[in-house]
Amino acid sequence: MTEFSAENLQKDAFLGGKLHLWQPVKGYRAGVDPVLLAASVPAKPGQTVLDLGCGAGAAALCLGVRVAQLQLYGVEREPAYAALARRNGLEAAQDFTVTQADLAQMPAPLRAMSFDHVISNPPYYDRAHGTAAPDRVREAALGEDLPLAEWIGIGARRVKPRGYLHLILKADRLADALSAMNSCLGSLEVLPLAPRVDRAAELVLMRGRKEGRAPLKLHAPLILHRGADHPGDKDHYTKVVSDVLRCGAPITY
């Protein structure tokens, strides 16, 4: 599929309406994960950012809303999503160059480049321990076919000296990610994302630095929701997380 039909597209608001993205009605749709990932990247104006598996562009473009004058790049395997990411970048008036390619067969011009920040929300379900989604494109976004260690290695090779690789992952893939990152990056940091107080983290934000030498740092968890349970239809995010999702505030760790 090279593009989505008009009837299978809708425009969704992100960051309290600061960004609008076309997304398919059916298929993989960006949720809060890419928004949280973008918020965690301490990019500075003028820097370069590469989003691996960028989908419709949510993470890169959310970061571009918060930090001006970034040079944004994306790689996306699925042609329809790559086309959608280009459209979203154009309509958001952001400098966003999207390459349609498999990460394992990245074009030579892109392999020749390096970036201040490489970001990714990789497919994080280990299908040795789970069931594939019936929709092929949704499964490609969720289920691991390229091993996570290879995904991380590809990202690390695109990072400039002293630059960063940033990930958001399911917490049960943390050991795999740390093992892979230890082989090519240093100054590793992990921020657990817990759904509520006294609940185990289900997601983690993590980053590593090219040529970093600091020891591993495990931060106190960021709590996503207020209260002990979910009251009705309201999102009930904590103020810190609500500011990230609604106002484009950064996550500092």
List, in order of start, the domains of the chain with CATH numbers.
6-222+230-247 (3.40.50.150)
Sign of CA dihedral 171, 139, 59, 211: positive
Look at residue 115 and give its three-state secondary structure. Answer: strand
pLDDT tens column, 16-60: 999 999 999 998 999 999 999 999 999 999 999 999 999 999 999
Which of 73, 118, 82, 114 has the alpha carbon at shortest distance from 100? Answer: 82
Which pLDDT score, from 0 to 100, does residue 176 have?
Answer: 96
Which of 117, 110, 59 has the alpha carbon at shortest distance from 88? Answer: 59
- What residues does 14 pair with on adjacent strands? 19
pLDDT tens column, 205-251: 999 999 999 999 999 999 999 987 766 667 799 999 999 999 999 99
Provide the percentage of residues in the chain whose pLDDT is more than 90: 84
Residue 177 pLDDT more than 80? Answer: yes
Sign of CA dihedral 39, 45, 48, 54: positive
- Please name the residue that has the structure tokens 């002293």: 162
Q: How many CB atoms lie within 10 A of CB 130?
A: 11
Span between the terminal Cα atoms of the chain, in Å: 40
Q: What angle, rounded to 10 degrees, do the helices at 148-157 and 174-182 form?
A: 40
Integer Cα distance of 143 and 136 in angstroms: 10
